[in-house]
Amino acid sequence: MDTKYHYDHSDDKIYIERSADCEPVLDEVKRIKEVTDGRGDGIKGYFVGRIPDVIIEKYLNEMGVTYREFIQDEKHVKRILNDPAYKRFRIFEGRI
């Protein structure tokens, strides 16, 4: 993950810009789909997707959710994985 800091003189605030290369995650999702036919079989069920940290961080900032709230309530993960904008990070194609 890359972090850049920007200072805005007009409002005397510092803004943080975060970015990351998500291609390795997308490659992993593609490999899992090929091996498991779209159902990422695991020990306790199946994997439905892989969410890069930068996307989680973006979600937390946009929704005003803390990381603690995010990990304690699965509705947040479901919201991300069911969002068509993040379809490429899905392993399982059905609705979660």
**More reliable by pLDDT, 16 or 66:** 66
Asked which of 6-10, 23-27, 30-34 is least confident by mean pLDDT, the reply is: 30-34
Q: How confident is the model at residue 18 (pLDDT cuts 50, 70, 90)?
A: confident
The model's pLDDT over 40-95, given as tens digits with 9 standing for 90+, comes to: 555 556 678 899 999 999 999 999 999 999 999 999 999 999 999 999 999 887 77
- Numbers of helices and strands, H then E, in the chain: 4, 4
Q: Domain count of the chain?
A: 1
Residue at 2 is within a domain:
no
Own/partner pairs, 57-64, CB within 8 angstroms, 24+ separation: 57/18, 58/18
* Average pLDDT of span 1-25: 92
Residue 74 domain boundaries: 21-89
**Residue 30, domain member (yes or no):** yes
Q: Is residue 29 part of a domain?
A: yes
User: Would the pTM count as exceeding 0.85?
Assistant: no
The CA distances from residue 86 to 7, 12, 50, 55, in Å, are: 30, 34, 10, 9
